[in-house]
């Protein structure tokens, strides 16, 4: 979710550099315009505060002479107006034939938290934009770049029809018919998930659901481990909708990002919801599978070094 959209900034480094060297060559010489053979980017060093993005652009210069290092490029990449990468490369030039140009930039991991908030509040949609300038002897201009749209659907597995029987002392006391989940308004501190679960009490007596505890983890990073103060009573032989809000810790998203990159862009999402059910059959602690989830999140943005 938060991870694919941030890693695209690494590719932008290569794209901006390409346009910079081409624009610079045209401005300062009459050589034939160079072409780019490939752009490759990979993760460098990642720690608790920053993520290094290494971009290698392979350029073919068909001219018999090298192009001197006279071009400078500066850029800022943004996701939903959150700056996720910024850098400057000075004295860009290359020899005749094929050569590789490497640009390193370090992303401040704290930007992941800010981006995550905007991504959730925009309906899990982000827009990538680039502000870049190219400068050389006697000229300075902006670099035209194309924007990109990034979309995720992290809650898909928590929505849909269910036919889950909840038992106590071997008896079916509750049937979960349907579940839904939607994001609330995220802040830099909290990302809420509002859930609604439709249940049917099969018994001729009321039952209570209390001490609902939810645990949400991404890899080994715990985003939530809380018990709701709400208690629900379902009347005999009736259908009710149980509203439960899960509050995730937004401040942990930069910590998750580090694990995602280190695990080759792979994350294990786990949501576990347990509750105590009081019925005529007794009291039992149960797992609500309808609101629980185990899934793998994988991206393929760059190669770990």
Give the mean pLDDT of 187-213. Answer: 93
| Model pLDDT, residue 130 | 67
What pLDDT score was predicted for residue 170?
79
Q: What is the pLDDT of residue 16?
A: 40
Residue 49 reports pLDDT greater than 80: yes
- What pLDDT, on a 0 to 100 scale, did the predictor assign at position 38? 65
Higher pLDDT, residue 136 or 185: 185
Q: Are residues 45 and 145 in the same domain?
A: yes
Pairwise pLDDT comparison (304 vs 140), residue with the higher score: 140
Taking the C-alpha atoms of residue 177 and residue 193, their distance in angstroms, rounded to an integer, is 19
20 vs 128: which has the higher pLDDT? 128
Reported as a pLDDT band with limits 50, 70 and 90, residue 121 is: very high
Residues 71 and 114 in one domain: yes
147 and 220 in a single domain? The answer is: no
| Domain of residue 164, CATH code | 2.60.40.10
Query: Pick from 124, 151, 178: which residue ends a domain?
Result: 151
Query: 204 and 105, same structural domain?
Result: no
Cα–Cα dist 115/112, whole Å: 5
Residues 114 and 188 in one domain: no
Task: Please determine, for residue 251, whether its predicted confidence score (pLDDT) is greater than 70.
Answer: yes
Backbone angles phi, psi at 95, to 5 degrees: -80, 170
Least confident of 76-85, 175-184, 240-249, 258-267: 76-85
**CA pair distance 137, 126, nearest whole angstrom:** 37
State residue 7's pLDDT score.
Answer: 28
Q: Which of 151, 170, 189 is the last residue of a domain?
A: 151
CB-based contacts of 83-88 (< 8 A; 24+ apart in sequence): 83/111, 84/6, 84/9, 84/111, 84/112, 84/115, 85/9, 85/10, 85/12, 85/13, 85/53, 87/13
Could you give the percent of the chain with pLDDT greater than 90? 33
- Tell which of 132, 151, 170 closes a domain: 151
Alpha-carbon dihedral sign for residues 214, 248, 242, 233 = positive
Full residue range of the structural domain in which residue 264 is found = 156-304
Confidence (pLDDT) at 300 = 63
- pLDDT of 208: 94
User: What integer pLDDT is reported at residue 57 of this predicted model?
Assistant: 66
Residues 35 and 133 in one domain: yes
> Residues 119, 164: one domain?
no
Q: Name the pLDDT band for 4 (thresholds 50, 70, 90).
A: very low
163 shares a domain with 137: no
Of residues 150 and 273, more confidence is placed in 273
**Could you tell me if 190 and 246 lie in one domain?**
yes
pLDDT in tens, 211-228: 999 999 999 899 999 999
Check whether 20 has a pLDDT greater than 80: no
Average pLDDT of every residue of the chain: 79
Note whether 185 and 263 are same-domain residues.
yes
Q: Stretch 141-162: mean pLDDT, rounded?
A: 74
Number of domains in the chain: 2
* pLDDT digit string, tens, across residues 156-183: 888 899 888 888 777 888 899 999 999 9
Residues 217 and 230 in one domain: yes
120 and 165 housed in the same domain: no
């Amino acid at each position: 979710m938060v991870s694919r959209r941030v890693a695209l900034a690494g590719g932008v480094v290569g794209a901006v550099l390409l346009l910079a060297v081409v624009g610079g060559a045209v401005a300062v010489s009459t050589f034939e315009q160079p072409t780019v053979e490939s752009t490759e980017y990979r993760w460098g060093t990642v720690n608790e505060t920053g993520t290094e993005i290494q971009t290698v652009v392979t350029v073919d210069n068909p001219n018999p002479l090298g192009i001197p290092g006279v071009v400078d490029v500066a850029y800022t990449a943004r996701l939903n107006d959150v700056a996720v990468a910024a850098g400057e490369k000075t004295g860009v030039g290359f020899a005749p034939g094929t050569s590789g140009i490497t640009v390193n930039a370090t992303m401040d991991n704290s930007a992941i938290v800010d981006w995550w908030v905007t991504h959730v509040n925009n309906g899990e949609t982000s827009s990538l934009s680039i502000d870049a300038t190219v400068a050389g002897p006697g000229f300075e201009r902006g670099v035209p770049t194309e924007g990109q749209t990034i979309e995720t659907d992290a809650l898909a597995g928590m929505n849909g029809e269910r036919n889950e029987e909840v038992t106590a002392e071997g008896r079916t006391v509750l049937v979960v018919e349907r579940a839904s989940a939607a994001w609330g308004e995220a802040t830099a501190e909290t990302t809420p998930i509002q859930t609604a679960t439709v249940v049917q009490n099969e018994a001729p007596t009321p039952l209570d659901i209390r001490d609902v505890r939810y645990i949400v983890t991404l890899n080994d990073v715990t985003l939530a481990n809380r018990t709701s103060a709400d208690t629900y009573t379902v009347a005999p032989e009736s259908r009710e909708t149980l509203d439960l809000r899960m509050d995730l810790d937004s401040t942990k998203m930069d910590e998750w990002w580090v694990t995602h990159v280190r695990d080759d862009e792979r994350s294990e999402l786990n949501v576990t919801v347990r509750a105590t059910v009081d019925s005529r059959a007794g009291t039992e602690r149960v797992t609500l599978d309808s609101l629980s989830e185990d899934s793998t999140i994988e991206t393929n943005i760059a190669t770990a070094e």
